Structure 1
Amino acid sequence: MQFITETSSYSVAKFYDLFQHKLPLVVMVTQGFHGDIIEDTFDREQVMVLCAISRQSRVVGIFTIGGQAKRMSIPEEYTEKLCTIKRGEVAKEDQLYKILQNHPLPTLVEFPKDRVLTVGNRSMNTNHIPPIELTKRFDEVYKKITRIT
């Protein structure tokens, strides 16, 4: 079996943009890359089969709990409804994507009161979830990789 090889090097983002519709591909990393999460960290000379790439529009939310600011990433198509907060007044609940259409960022939101959210096997009353400041939108890239080495 012979492989057609490229002599060009690409950044991770540039590679995904150029080759996302030509998958699967066998690739070798020429320079290490440290991502924000472990799945986005690649070692130099690592060989992998890149099978699929998808993008999801998301929004960054910041909330304070226990005196510490925490960041979270929320899909724009999130199904739980949220309420915007302006000048201390809580507005009617709405879908996140509609809130993003109608309010410039940053904007403050909270979950409607007296509801129960279940994530995995854990349930939480929305009264215990602090307000969330939505700060910016971004496209997150997901990839299906089989690491060979």
Structure 2
Amino acid sequence: MDSNTKKAEVVGQAAAHDDPANAPSVLDDAQALWSELRGLGYDHLRLAALETQRAGESLVSMVMAAVNVAILLMAAWLGLMAAAVLWSVENNLVATSSAILLAVVFNLLLALIFCGVIRRKRHYLQFPSTLRSFQPMPSQQNTEKP
């Protein structure tokens, strides 16, 4: 193609757009815009669905790892308690049954302490500040007494 042919095509296209009979209507533009918006919305929903799926899989993996860590920590704690019982029996500090009972009492005391921590912290699970922010502000008329 030479430059004259290209110029003629450009002039022909410009003339076609200037001609009201060949110009796209506002309805066509609106339909094209709606189609693009719908496609963009679909892409956003698809991306959100994929990220939600990835987040769910990550959460499941994290919970499984946390359960495994908890089991390993329990085994280590039980081993530590058994070693403490054996050490106290070998050094004649207490009798075997007393040492086991002492370990059980120690574990129960520790569990009670953790239950107290949980009880103190449970208030924050209810989002108290957020709920308070949704409450209507008391008006000046209701607070003043005649």
TM class, shorter-length: under 0.3
Bigger Rg over Cα = 2
Q: Which structure's relative contact order is higher, taking Cα pairs within 8 Å and 6+ residues apart?
A: 1
| Structure with the largest fraction of helix | 2
Instruction: Provide TM-score, normalisation by structure 1.
Output: 0.18
Instruction: Provide TM-score, normalisation by structure 2.
Output: 0.18
| Structure with the largest fraction of strand | 1
